[in-house]
Amino acid sequence: MERRGAAAPDGGYAWLILLSCFFVFGLTFGVIKSFGVFFVEIQQYFETTAAGTSWITSIAVATIHIAAPVSSALSARFSHRAVVISGGLICSAAVVFGALARSLTELYITVGFLNGFGYALTWTPTVTMLGLYFDRRRPVANALASAGECILTFSLTPLFQLLIDSFSWRGALLILGGLQLNLCVCGMLLRPLRLNVLEMNDQETVKDFQHYVDYTLITNGRFMVYSMFGVFAALGFFAPSLFLVPYARSQGLSEYQVQQLTATVVLLGAVLLLCPLASTFPELVAFSAAHGLVYGATVAVHITVLPEVVGVERLGSALGFFMLIRSSGGLLGPPIAGFFIDKMENYGMGFLMSGVALIVSALFLLILHQMNQQSQKTATDAALTEKKIWKKCFC
């Protein structure tokens, strides 16, 4: 029987959970966002189109989202620790086999599907554990954890380019496979948490992951509106980092020269719409810095909002279901951007598409805001009515 830790939100062992989540963010989505340096090499090696090459990243992103409920179910059946360690092993093996690929199809299967499935097994349980270990400091914890994605993206991009220059893209993938074994170490840090929840005046001990996949969430209007935000946000999240290096090369530069959530999403969309105006190294540096800053804020806040929409006790199931719904955006984003790039023969079109998608996603956040206000007004009116009734009865 695995030893279960005592409830310790916002402190103690929670900081080690945060450390684990920091590196999981970096070694999953950080690697995906650094994959743009492989893009040009693979496209030239297999003599394919931008859309064809982009399916590697697209399949990985979609698989992360689609497999998120599976990851939640496995965590409930076994443990977060076991699932994350297994995911790290799958990621490592998938990328190593991808280094031996003889066709784009084999890269779709290995670096795309299998690697994405491994990411789902590592990312979803770790983020769920972070949400359970932190309560009052959850926004700060999510911001610090998501910083791992930005920091490792910043670090891994030049590292991958150096490895490609030294050992070719195949050698770089082999080294990446070894690097991703660190996900297993992150899994070892996860320790189950006992939550004491007060409900109907009874003290109950609730499993961290009470439901495998709670499909009743589909009846939750606020959750579904938030999920639609996720779909359109995913359309714009992943294409920019994938096409930034090819865009820089098309401009004659070398790779080395390369209120909250609503506000950050609008800013992120605006930054992406402005990117095609950049044509020099300083301008691309400014764009990359602005995109990284606003994107980091967006990621940190959007994970924090989910427990507020459905409640922390349903976080594990809601996160998996949210990722499943959002998968369509993650799957279609890079290929749609690649289609426009191929048609217009201009990498800037990928950024325009991403910017428009993010602006649309912000509209769903405005709808959610209105729903929240209406819900609060209804609750306030009900409380006032009850107060009047009691006053009338006792006066």
H-helix or E-strand spanning residue 325 = helix 315-344
Which residues have CB under 8 Å from 79's CB, separation 6+?
2, 190, 192
- Whether 317 has a pLDDT exceeding 50, the answer reads yes
- Quote the pLDDT of residue 344: 78
pLDDT band at 243; cut points 50, 70, 90: low
Closest C-alpha to 237, from 299, 279, 289? 299
- Whether 264 has a pLDDT exceeding 60, the answer reads no
- Quote the pLDDT of residue 4: 45
- Quote the pLDDT of residue 301: 57
The string of DSSP codes covering 202-242 is EEEEE-TT--S--GGGGG-HHHHHHHHHHHHHHHHHSHHHH
- Quote the pLDDT of residue 291: 60
- Quote the pLDDT of residue 284: 64
Q: What whole-number distance in Å separates Cα of residue 348 and Cα of residue 335?
A: 14
**Secondary structure E strands in the chain:** 195-199, 202-206
**Tokens representing residue 38 in the block:** 């492989």
pLDDT digits (tens, 9 = 90+) for 142-200: 778 877 887 887 788 888 888 999 999 999 999 999 999 999 999 999 988 765 443 36
- Quote the pLDDT of residue 369: 76
Closest C-alpha to 347, from 258, 249, 262, 228? 249
pLDDT digits (tens, 9 = 90+) for 362-372: 787 788 778 87
Which neighbouring-strand residues pair with 198?
Answer: 203
pLDDT higher at 92 or 49: 92
The string of DSSP codes covering 75-131 is HHHS-HHHHHHHHHHHHHHHHHHHTT-SSHHHHIIIIIIIHHHHHHHHHHHHHHHHH
Mean pLDDT, residues 208-234: 71
- Quote the pLDDT of residue 139: 73
| CA terminus-to-terminus distance, the chain | 59
Residue type at 69? P
Q: What whole-number distance in Å separates Cα of residue 345 and Cα of residue 218?
A: 41
- Quote the pLDDT of residue 276: 58
Q: What whole-number distance in Å separates Cα of residue 169 and Cα of residue 161?
A: 9
**Tokens representing residue 78 in the block:** 């076994």
Domain boundaries along the sequence of the chain: 14-191+212-375
pLDDT higher at 57 or 276: 57
- Quote the pLDDT of residue 343: 80
The fraction of the chain above a pLDDT of 70, given in percent, is 69
pLDDT band at 338; cut points 50, 70, 90: confident
99-130: burial string, b at 16+ Cβ within 10 Å, e else: bebeebeebbbbbbbbbbbbbbbbbbbbbbbb
> Cβ(136)–Cβ(128) under 8 Å?
no
- Quote the pLDDT of residue 114: 96
Q: What whole-number distance in Å separates Cα of residue 67 and Cα of residue 113?
A: 10
Q: Average pLDDT of the chain? A: 76
> Cβ(269)–Cβ(351) under 8 Å?
no
Where on the phi/psi map is residue 26: left (φ > 0), alpha (ψ -120 to 50), or beta?
alpha
- Quote the pLDDT of residue 270: 60
Q: What whole-number distance in Å separates Cα of residue 34 and Cα of residue 159?
A: 9
pLDDT band at 103; cut points 50, 70, 90: very high
- Whether 34 has a pLDDT exceeding 70, the answer reads yes
- Quote the pLDDT of residue 288: 62
- Whether 7 has a pLDDT exceeding 70, the answer reads no
Overall CATH class of domain 14-191+212-375: mainly alpha
**Tokens representing residue 342 in the block:** 């191929």
Closest C-alpha to 286, from 296, 271, 270, 268? 271
User: CA-CA-CA-CA torsion for 130, 134, 137, 142, nearest 10 degrees?
Assistant: 10
- Whether 262 has a pLDDT exceeding 60, the answer reads no
- Quote the pLDDT of residue 112: 93
- Whether 203 has a pLDDT exceeding 50, the answer reads no
Burial of 154 (0-12, 13-18, 19+ CB in 10 A): middle
Q: What whole-number distance in Å separates Cα of residue 111 and Cα of residue 115?
A: 5
- Whether 395 has a pLDDT exceeding 60, the answer reads no
- Quote the pLDDT of residue 357: 77
pLDDT band at 81; cut points 50, 70, 90: very high
**Tokens representing residue 30 in the block:** 């950080």
Lowest mean pLDDT among 8-22, 44-58, 343-357: 343-357
- Whether 302 has a pLDDT exceeding 80, the answer reads no
Closest C-alpha to 126, from 70, 61, 75? 75
- Quote the pLDDT of residue 136: 78
Q: What whole-number distance in Å separates Cα of residue 193 and Cα of residue 135?
A: 13
Residue 156, CA atoms < 13 Å, CB-side half-sphere: 28
